């Protein structure tokens, strides 16, 4: 079994049923909320943390303070600690994003096989669950992404607040997921569109970062990838698949769209890594920073992202050449639609997600309530309300939709989009829909029994049959599971009076009405 498959087999952190096999497994697959105490003995240590954060922003170089860190009772002396983040850093309290590097000042120091961890403050999510839910899905589906758990974080024993603990995409991550770590790792930031800017690698320095092999500084592999993405014409698929795991990217794109993560390449071109996997000998797409998932950002100034078009690309679409060229290849467009169906059917499912939301909320609730008021980004009432349907104003000047209500609305919208375009998730292909040419009703007139015959490869799993009288009163209503291909449904009309009725056969957004005559 591949290393990445081992990670996927142990998905859903806080489950309490995983067995450690890779670095970080004890941390990320534990059922507990962890305890992290950051010991800073320097005078004016908080002012110093902020000063070094400002200096890092100005110079582009990260500055760490020396700190003893205690995780679940395990001391890690002389670790490096720094504040981090962009907009998430702006909250006036002390609950700001943190990076802890155990290896910064003590060579080889690790915690659970990890050299560093990130602590995120969930500045745009009152529930603190959105990113966790999305990352669990990605990992369960074998798509490279960090893992996530929770920790109570303190400075010098004083509780600051509840944080998400996130895995760092570094060489340890690469080794775990791909069983190799020696090739180039690039981070797409801040405007990494993957548009062709010529063969000089320096043209890409402003929007991508090389995070490994910096001394060699050879970007020829990336330039080759971008060249093939943009300049392969009708050979796009064959050329790109030689150097890039296209199928996994298509699935990642579908997941980000279905779960309405606007803050991703297809919309805002950043928050990803590209790793040149030496075993597969192709670039791998690594998902990153999905904290604005489940509708935190609207799809436009005037539209909630539950209405996000499943084919959304910014104008012009050519500014996202990877996605745009995928949609121009029929087989790849089909693969994308099938991936949308997969996540829609199996993951964006209230019956599956709601119990998960409830169980995670129960675990973190005491620690959310215990946060000092000066550090809380959202009140306890906002935490509780946003789990369900209450909208909460965010620091981005948008209302954050209730998590459960958004899931319901997003699922309904994606189902309707697929239905309107005539796409059958069951078949993985287009269908003609219920229409006058493929439905027959007999006998006509009818007496004891009415037979409805149709040939509908419909997406949804239930077909409804209603018979109403001419006053609009429903006299018969039955449901039946769909079977692909020819299908016959018999309705017992023996109890109906003689007269004219309307038969309505409904399959999601596709329906047909037929007048029927009952005689006695």
In this structure, what token pair is assigned to residue 278?
Answer: 């030496």
Q: Which residues contact 44 (CB under 8 A, 6 or more apart)?
A: none
Phi/psi at 176 (5° precision): -65, -45
In sign, the C-alpha dihedral spanning 69, 74, 77, 79 is: negative
Q: Is the pLDDT of residue 457 over 60?
A: no
Residues in the chain: 520
For the cut 80, the answer to whether the pLDDT of residue 511 exceeds it is no
Backbone φ and ψ of 269, nearest 5°: -80, 75
Least trusted range by pLDDT, from 248-252, 304-308, 424-428? 424-428
Residue 25 belongs to a domain: yes
Taking a C-beta distance cutoff of 8 angstroms, is the pair 462, 481 a contact?
yes
* Closest among 366, 325, 24 to 175, alpha carbons compared: 24
Q: Residue 379's pLDDT is what?
A: 96
Position 434 confidence tier, pLDDT thresholds 50, 70, 90: low
Note the pLDDT tens digit of each residue in 202-238: 999 999 999 999 999 999 999 999 999 999 999 999 9
Nearest to 343 by CA among 127, 134, 128: 134
> Residue 81: its pLDDT value, please?
99
Q: Report which of residues 13 and 182 the model is more confident about.
A: 182
**Does a structural domain hold residue 164?**
yes
**Nearest Cα residue to 511 out of 478, 479, 450, 464:** 464
Q: Say what the pLDDT of residue 486 is.
A: 67
Mean pLDDT over the full length of the chain: 92
Specify burial of residue 249 (Cβ count, 10 A radius: 0-12, 13-18, 19+). buried
Which residue has tokens 């003893």? 68
Whether the CA torsion 248, 249, 253, 259 is positive or negative: it is positive
Omega into 445 within 30° of 0, i.e. cis? yes
CB under 8 Å to 50, separation ≥6 — which residues? 83
Residue where a domain stops, chosen among 153, 172, 191: 172
Measured CA to CA, the distance from residue 224 to residue 215 in angstroms comes to 20
How far, in Å, CA of 109 to CA of 494, rounded? 80
Q: What's the alpha-carbon Rg for the chain, to the nearest Å?
A: 27
What average pLDDT does range 176-205 have in this prediction? 98
Under 8 Å between Cβ of 479 and 467: no
Q: Are 348 and 356 in contact (CB under 8 A)?
A: no
* Distance in angstroms (rounded) separating the CA atoms of residues 352 and 12: 13
Task: Tell me whether the omega of the peptide bond preceding residue 443 falls within 30 degrees of 0, making it cis.
Answer: yes
Asked if residue 260 is part of any domain, the answer here is: no
Domain presence at residue 503: yes
DSSP annotation of 501 reads: E
The maximal CA–CA distance of the chain, rounded, in angstroms, is 96
Res. 470 pLDDT band, cuts 50 70 90: very high
| Structural domain includes residue 50 | yes
Of 172, 203, 234, the domain-final residue:
172
| Residue 207 falls inside a structural domain | no
Compute the distance between CA of residue 478 and CA of residue 465 in angstroms, rounded to an integer: 5
The CA angle 350-353-357, to the nearest 5 degrees, is: 125
Q: Give Cα 216 to chain centroid, integer Å.
A: 34
> 172, 197, 225: which is the final residue of a domain?
172
Q: Are 428 and 341 in contact (CB under 8 A)?
A: yes
- CA 48 to chain CA centroid, nearest Å: 36
- What is the per-residue pLDDT across 29-83, written as a single tens digit (0 to 9) for each? 998 999 999 999 999 999 999 999 999 999 999 999 999 999 999 999 999 999 9
pLDDT of res. 487: 76
Nearest to 419 by CA among 406, 432, 410: 432
Structure confidence at residue 303 (pLDDT): 83
Tokens for 361?
A: 């909320």
- Residue 53 included in any domain: yes
Q: What is the pLDDT of residues 338-381, one digit of tens each?
A: 999 999 999 999 999 999 999 999 999 999 999 999 999 999 99
Domain count, the chain: 2
Give the residue numbers spanning the domain of 500.
436-518
| 219 domain residue, yes or no | no
Type and span of the H or E element at 133: helix 130-140
Report whether pLDDT(16) > 50: no
The yes-or-no verdict on residue 484 having pLDDT over 70 is: no
What six digits make up the tokens of 57? 């922003």
CATH code of the domain containing 448: 2.60.40.3080
Cis omega (within 30 of 0) for bond into 143? no
């Amino acid at each position: 079994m591949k290393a990445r498959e081992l990670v996927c087999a142990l998905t859903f952190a806080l489950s309490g049923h995983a067995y450690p096999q890779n670095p970080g497994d004890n941390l990320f697959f534990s059922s507990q909320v962890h305890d992290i105490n950051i010991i800073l003995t320097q005078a004016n240590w908080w002012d110093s943390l902020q000063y070094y954060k400002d200096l890092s922003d100005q110079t582009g170089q990260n500055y760490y303070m020396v700190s003893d860190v205690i995780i679940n009772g395990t001391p890690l002396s002389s670790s490096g600690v720094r504040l981090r983040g962009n907009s998430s850093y702006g909250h006036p309290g002390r609950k700001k994003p943190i990076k802890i590097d155990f290896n910064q000042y003590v060579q080889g120091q690790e915690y659970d096989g990890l050299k560093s961890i990130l602590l995120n403050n969930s500045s745009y999510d009152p529930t603190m669950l959105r990113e966790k839910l999305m990352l669990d899905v990605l990992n369960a589906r074998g798509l490279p992404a960090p893992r996530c758990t929770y920790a109570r974080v303190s400075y010098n024993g004083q509780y600051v607040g509840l944080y998400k603990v996130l895995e760092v995409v570094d060489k340890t991550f690469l080794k775990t997921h791909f069983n190799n770590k020696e090739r180039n790792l690039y981070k797409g930031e801040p405007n990494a569109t993957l548009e062709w800017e010529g063969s000089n690698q320096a043209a890409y320095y402003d929007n991508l970062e090389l995070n490994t092999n910096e001394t060699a500084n050879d970007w020829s592999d990336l330039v080759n990838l971008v060249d093939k993405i943009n300049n392969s014409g009708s050979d796009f698929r064959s050329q790109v698949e030689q150097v890039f795991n296209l199928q996994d990217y298509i699935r990642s794109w579908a997941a980000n769209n279905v779960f309405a993560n606007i803050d991703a390449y297809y919309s805002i071109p950043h928050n990803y890594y590209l790793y040149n996997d030496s075993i597969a000998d192709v670039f791998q797409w690594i998902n990153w920073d999905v904290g604005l998932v489940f509708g935190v950002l609207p799809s436009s100034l005037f539209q909630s992202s539950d209405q996000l078009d499943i084919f959304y690309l910014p104008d012009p679409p050519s500014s996202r050449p990877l996605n745009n060229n995928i949609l121009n290849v029929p087989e790849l467009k089909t693969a994308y639609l099938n991936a949308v169906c997969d996540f829609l059917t199996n993951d964006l499912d209230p019956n599956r997600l709601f119990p998960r939301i409830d169980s995670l909320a129960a675990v973190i609730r005491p620690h959310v309530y215990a946060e000092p008021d000066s550090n809380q980004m959202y009140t306890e009432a906002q935490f509780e309300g946003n789990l369900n349907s209450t909208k909460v104003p965010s620091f981005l000047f948008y209302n954050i939709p209730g998590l459960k209500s958004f899931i319901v609305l997003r699922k309904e919208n994606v189902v309707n989009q697929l239905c309107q375009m005539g796409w059958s998730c069951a078949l993985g292909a287009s269908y003609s829909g219920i229409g006058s040419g493929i439905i027959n009703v007999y006998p006509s007139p009818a007496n004891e029994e009415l037979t409805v015959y149709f040939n509908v490869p419909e997406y949804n799993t239930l077909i409804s049959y209603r018979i109403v009288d001419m006053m609009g009163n429903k006299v018969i209503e039955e449901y039946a599971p769909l079977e692909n291909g020819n299908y016959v449904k018999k309705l017992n009309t023996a109890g109906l009076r003689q007269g004219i009725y309307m038969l309505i056969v409904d399959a999601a957004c596709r329906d047909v009405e037929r007048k029927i005559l009952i005689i006695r």
